[in-house]
Amino acid sequence: MPNENAISNYNSLQSTIEQRPSHGLNYSFSYVWSHFMDDLDTAGWGSHFGNQNWQNAYNPAANYGNSNFDVRNAFKGYILYQLRFGRGDSS
């Protein structure tokens, strides 16, 4: 049975640097800083599996803290360079 009184909070800062195709070069880099907090997590993976025990049954808010899904920093990117030979060569 799902808990209808659970609390969660997600905040993030996202930034992207991108170079559109120019002279055969294309790249994109993204960075995300985030913070995800909740008081109930029964996703079935991470440090909480299945039912979750409360720290204090008289004060469920005492469980509020970092979520299993909290990933503070994420950096992703790619670089592509088109080589000027082979099939479809325009030179």
CA dihedral angle for residue 43, residue 47, residue 52, residue 53, rounded to 10 degrees: -170
- Convert the pLDDT of each residue in 47-62 to its tens digit: 545 566 667 778 877 8
Q: Radius of gyration over alpha carbons of the chain, in Å?
A: 22
* Total-model pTM: 0.62
Q: Where are the domains of the chain?
A: 8-81
Phi and psi at 23, nearest 5°, equal: 55, 35
For the stretch 60-83, pLDDT in tens is: 778 888 888 888 999 999 999 988
pLDDT in tens, 1-16: 455 677 889 999 999 9
Residue showing tokens 């109930």 = 40
